[in-house]
Each structure stands twice: as C-alpha cells, then as structure tokens.
Amino acid sequence: MMNQTTTKIGIKTKLGYAIGQMADSASFNLYYCFFLYFLTDFTGMKPALAGMISLIAILWDAVTDPIIGYISDNLKSKYGRRRPMILTGAVPYGISVFLLFNNIDLGGSAQFFYFLAVALLFWTSFTTYDIPYFSLGAELSDDFNERTSIRAWSSVFMYMASMLASALPPILLAKIQESGYSSDSAWNCIGILFMAITIIAGMVCWNFTRGREYKIDWSKAKKTAKENFFVNYISTFKLKPMKWLLLSIFSIALVAAVVSNTSIYMMAHVLGFSPEKQSLTFILSTLINLAWIPAVNFLSQKYDKKYAYAGALGVSATTALIVVTMGYDMYTSIVSNYALYVVFMIVSSFGTCAFWTLYFAMTYDLCEVDEFINGMRKEGTMSALTSFFQKLGAAALLTGMLLTQGGYDASLAAQTMEAKHMIFNIFNIVPLIGVIIGILAILKYPMTKKRFYALLEALKLKREGKKYSTDGFEELL
C-alpha cells in the first residue's frame, strides 16, 4: 500500500523541516504572551470580553484538532496528504497574526466580533498547519533514532521562536514609540514581522520536504482500514501503547501549564524579583532548555526514548522533592542568591526539555502499530490525539482555583503569607505529583527500540502479503 523513502534523511531536509517549527511556534507564542494584553491595554477592550474571545478561540482550536487530523489522513492529493495542507495553513496563519494585532476602531460589539472572527481564523489556520506539520515528521523516516533527531532539531527552533515571541515585542514596542510613532503603528510592525516569519518558515518547510511523504495508492488501500471519523479515533485511542502515552502527556502538560502560569507569581510575590530580573529569567529559561536538547537526544539514542524521557523527568521530580523538603523559608532564603536559583532552574528544566522533545517522537513510533492493527497509517489522527490531550492538560483551571483558595488578591501590593505559601505549593508540590504520574505512565508505555524493529519487520512482510510473526512485539498489540 505504501512506498517508503529511505529511513535516513539528509541535513538539508532535516533543517528544512525544523525551520517549519518556527512557523508553528512564533505566532503561537506571540498570541499567548501578548494578545490579551494587546486587547485590554491598547484597544481598550474590557478584560472580561477580551478573556471571552481568547477562551472561545482556544476551545475552537481543541475542536478542530481531530477534524484536521482526519482530513489530513484522508486527503487524496497527488502532492501527498501533509504538504498541501502545510502550505494551505501557513499563508492564512501568517495573515491572521497580522490582523490580530491591528487596532481597528470599530467601536462596541463590532470590535468584539472583529477580534473574535480573526482569532477563530488564527486558530483554524494554525491547526491546519500544525497537525499536518507534526504528522509529516513521522513520514520523513521510519527509523527509531532518526525520529528523535528530527524532533530534537525542531525543538531548537521551537525554543528560538518562543524566546523571539516573548522577548522581542516589548523591545520593538518601546523603540518604535521612542521614534515618534504611535503604539498602533508599533503593533502593526510586530504583526508584519511575525506574519513574515510564519509564512516564510512554512514555505521553507514545504519546499525542503518535497518528495519525502509516504505515497499511498488509494486504489489498493486496504478495505479493512477504518475511515469513519469516530471509529477512526476510537480505534487509535484503543491502542495499548497510546493510552499510556496520552496519560503521561496529559499529566506533564498540566505540570508545564501550572509551572508556566505560576512562575510570574512565584518571581514577583515569593522571590521579589524585579521586572528586569523576571525578563532575564524567562530568557535564561529558554537558553537552558536549548542547552539540554543535545543531552536529551544523546540519551534517547543510547537508551530507549521512554527511559530518557522518564529519567529526565525523574531529575526534575527529585529537584521538586528537594525544594518541598526544604520548605518555604529555607528555599526562599537559599535562592535569594540568584545564582542558586538559576542552578535549580537548570536542573529542573531537564524534564521539560525531554517532554517537548520526545513526546511527539514517541507518538510517531505508534503509527506502525496503528497500521499493523487497523490497516492504515494515521499520522494525522495520532498527532491530533496527542495535541488534544496536551491542550486538555494545559487548559486545566487548577492554578486559578488554587490561587483563589490560597487567598491571592491581585489588588494587594503585598500578598499575605497564606497566599505566598499557596504559590510556593502550586509551583512545587503540584508539579511533583504530576511528574510522578507522568513517569509511572510512561514506564508502562510498552514501546522499545527492540520491539519497534521487530514490528517493522513483521509489518513489511504483512504489506507484501507474506507470512509474518508477532514474536518480539506482542506487548504492543
């Protein structure tokens, strides 16, 4: 049914694919960092309305994940299933980020509906690009280690895009306004810049991955393949390895969201960092994660991905356990020395880097399991499922609920000790519990390098209609 390309890919293709991560991540992070702030502080929209726009748009994004995944798997185009959608998504995705940061004075409800419509366009085009992009990564190579390398390269550009989106806009905003231009003009420039990054990076990926997709002969596609939308997702979700991977993804995504949401409260109210030191910390965090990528790649190539993933998370869990054991007073006293805070940040970032680098690589390895059991490769479905559970974990309202319970009051210049202790606990105890669950789940995930190659050999024989055996990978079925 499928003709594979070589399992090893050249630097040019790998780099071209990795640059595509810039299109995925730059505008995505710009939205999360600044869109709400732009609406409230520059368009004058009420916070409740601005928050409603963001909530509706992000919920819409979660809804479109499985739809785009299904379309991507079943697109019958002579140019392939992924690259046409990557190109189709990149252009409106870039245009929509420019439209998002345009302060069009429509007044009243018209302004609300304008930004809501553009936000829906933004997330629809993002998903149209994002799901096929990640799916393509599985098609570039069927080599166990090469897939990890592909995601490691992509992670470099992901962190670069994240740093660009968080650090560059405030600088540009200040410099352009100092030059005598209005804030609206400054935001227009920012929008144009990120539109260009998104479209150019997407087209680079589209061009440099030409000819690297699996080619499906639809006339010979197995009649046993499950093409019904709901059956399609149910059959994939029921795969034994998928359940454990999704549980780990949900758990660690929840941890990542809690740490991300709480970090500004921790720095401002518990540690007393100045705004300048807070910005420095965010930049250092990105650089630290970039520095960990080679180590994560090396460990996952030397050992199995799941053990590298679990080991890195174990380091982060141990750091959190040490902090929790120290308690509030001892920890805050020690990290009043900023260098020691950076040391804690370096160690704890190991698990975060491993998560973002490896979980999609592990998803890729299940595409062959799906084909072996269900008769058809569904990289889009795989990517959509893992993306949905990652967003489900990230969207959890745990941080806000716990802050409220702890008595946090934004109107107070100085928070109560009860609120500070709650911030400390959210930042350390909640991640500790979540990481432990994520580690236990991934240790139950049965895919290993040895089982993967045994499966690949049997799948090759099955595709050719020859006799095969499930010896060596029964645990995957």
Q: What is the pLDDT of residues 413-457, one digit of tens each?
A: 788 888 888 888 888 888 899 999 999 999 999 999 999 999 999
Q: What is the pLDDT of residues 270-316, one digit of tens each?
A: 888 887 787 788 788 889 989 999 999 999 988 889 999 999 999 99
Report phi then psi at 213, rounded to 5: -80, 160
**Structure-block tokens of residue 96:** 């929509």
Q: List where CATH 1.20.1250.20 sits in the chain.
A: 14-209, 228-464
Is the Cβ–Cβ distance between 382 and 231 less than 8 Å? Answer: no
More confident residue, 395 or 191: 191
* Size of the chain in residues: 477
Q: How far apart are CA 466 and CA 450, in angstroms?
A: 22
Coil, helix or strand for 368? helix
Q: How far apart are CA 138 and CA 368, in angstroms?
A: 10
Q: How far apart are CA 126 and CA 327, in angstroms?
A: 42
More confident residue, 50 or 438: 438
* Among the four given CATH numbers 1.10.1670.10, 3.40.1410.10, 1.10.3720.10, 1.20.1250.20, the one describing domain 14-209: 1.20.1250.20
Is the Cβ–Cβ distance between 202 and 129 less than 8 Å? Answer: yes
Beta-carbon count within 10 A of 277 CB: 15
**Structure-block tokens of residue 17:** 């694919």
User: Helices marked H in 179-239 — which ranges?
Assistant: 183-208, 229-237
Token pair 């991560």: residue: 21
In the chain, % of residues over pLDDT 70:
94
Token pair 């959190």: residue: 320
In 64-163, the DSSP E strands lie at none
How many secondary structure helices (H) and strands (E) does the chain include?
A: 17, 2
Q: How confident is the model at residue 5 (pLDDT cuts 50, 70, 90)?
A: very low
- What are the Cα distances from residue 146, in Å, to 90, 142, 269? 26, 8, 44
More confident residue, 185 or 392: 185
Query: DSSP assignment, residue 413?
Result: S
Q: What is the pLDDT of residues 159-213, one digit of tens each?
A: 899 888 877 887 888 888 888 888 888 889 999 999 999 999 999 999 999 877 7
Residues whose CB is less than 8 angstroms from the CB of residue 101 and which lie 6 or more positions away in sequence, other chains included: 34, 35, 38, 187, 188, 190, 191
- What are the Cα distances from residue 174, in Å, to 94, 227, 330? 23, 53, 39
Q: What is the 3-state secondary structure (H, E, C) of 381-408?
A: HHHHHHHHHHHHHHCCCHHHHHHHHCCC
Give Rg (Cα) of the chain: 23
Q: How far apart are CA 99 and CA 195, in angstroms?
A: 9
Q: What is the pLDDT of residues 100-140, one digit of tens each?
A: 998 877 777 888 999 999 999 999 999 999 999 998 988 88
In 215-258, the DSSP E strands lie at 215-216
Residues whose CB is less than 8 angstroms from the CB of residue 428 and which lie 6 or more positions away in sequence, other chains included: 320, 323, 324
Mean pLDDT of 83-103: 93
pLDDT of the residue at 202: 95
**pLDDT score of 4 more than 50:** no
Fold of the domain spanning 228-464:
Growth Hormone; Chain: A; (1.20.1250)
Coil, helix or strand for 183? helix
Is the Cβ–Cβ distance between 137 and 147 less than 8 Å? Answer: yes
Query: DSSP assignment, residue 451?
Result: H
